[in-house]
Structure 1
Amino acid sequence: MALERSVRAKLIAKRDPEREREAREWISSVIGKNLKPAPIEDILRDGTVLCELINKIKPGSIKKINTAGGDFKMMENINKFQDAVRAYGLSDADIFQTVDLWEKKDISLVVTTLFALGRETYRHPEYKGPHLGPKPAEEHKREFSQEQLRAGQTVIGLQAGSNKGATQSGQNIGASRKILLGK
């Protein structure tokens, strides 16, 4: 019982109300409707809002959103969302597990997925809506000529340091330190 309270306290401490507010406002602006005033996990739990979100970002991502049919159908919505964001470009490391949302195990991971999705939208020029989070860095490939590469091979980097005048004298390797006490 005490261990369960400790785990729950740690999960609550991981949550960031400011990030949750930003994610909530972003979802609302993307789907074009106000979300009910409730905790974010209650709004997203059945997966319908998540499915609407990815369909607005990439139309046709989810063909059929379940609105009835019990818990299994609602969890299926969450799984469809996860598959759709994976196809959109998110890595598995950025996607929460279904139980994190359905059982409210770790809502901070759900919010992290939303931020990852918001960042991914920058990489898709066809998406014209609002973004969430900072723009990802772009790759800047550099091309070096063979002459430049050869010139770099003759330089000794400063990190290599210098062993000028270095010896092992006084290092006392393997011998124990002897402390003499005065009489």
Structure 2
Amino acid sequence: MAPRNAEQEKEVLEWIFQILGEPVPSGSYEDILKDGVVLCNLINKLAPGSVKKIQTRGTNFQLMENIQRFQAAIKKYGVPEEEIFQTADLFERRNIPQVTLCLFALGRITQKHPEFTGPILGPKMADKNERTFTEEQLRAHQAELSLQMGYNKGASQAGHGGFGNTRHM
């Protein structure tokens, strides 16, 4: 598990509350985010109507639903599934760094949404880097046998026992 990074956590909170237009509340990072209310308000600011129902108080189960609604909403917004934290990572403080990573991913994705003009979290994403080639340039290498074509001068993996060395019997 990655160590926690207080600098990044502070950056995330400042970014969230800049978007929400509220001062950063006092309290620990995970306590501010734990019930999912702030997260739901955040995604509703980024993509209005993403989370219809936000439980401001209730049982742990109801509060965990906030987190799950947030996760579903950011997935729809474009955050890759592998970057989204598990509910327990936040709610049970199992993996707070993963929560931070996820929010940085969300911050990165906002840059792909032209309607979002708010503050940027993390490094600015690169814009498209288009290259144009002439037909001639594209055709030039078709005659060559690329090394990726699998030409290996008759070598085979016969006798090779998976990783590392051959099998000694």
Common fold, TM-score beyond 0.5?
Answer: yes
Q: Which of 126, 135, 148 is 2:124 aligned to? A: 135
Alignment counterpart, residue 94 of structure 2, candidates 100, 105, 112? 105
| More helix per residue | 1
Query: Percent same amino acid at aligned positions?
Result: 51
Alignment of structure 1 residues 1-183 onto 2, 5 Å = 11=1, 14-152=3-141
Residue deviations 1:48-86, cap 9 Å, x none? 000011111111111110112311110000000000000
Q: CA deviation at 1:143?
A: 3.6
Residues 62, 84 of structure 1: 8 Å contact kept: yes
The code of the aligned residue for 1:122 comes to Q
Q: TM-score, normalised by structure 1?
A: 0.74
Report Cα offsets for 1:16-70 as digits up to 9, x if no partner: 1100110111111111112321111010000000001111111111111011231
**Aligned equivalent of 2:159:** none
**1:145 partner amino acid:** T
Query: Residue 154 of structure 1: CA displacement?
Result: 6.9
TM-score, scaled to structure 2 = 0.79
Structure 1 partner of 2:157: none
The alignment yields a C-alpha RMSD, in angstroms, of 1.9
Q: Which runs of 5+ in 2 are unaligned?
A: 147-169
- 1: distance between equivalents of 2:23 and 2:80? 29
Deviation at 1:87, TM superposition (A): 0.4
Aligned match of 1:168: none
Q: Secondary structure at the match of 1:123?
A: coil
How many angstroms apart in 1 are the aligned matches of 2:104 and 2:44? 17
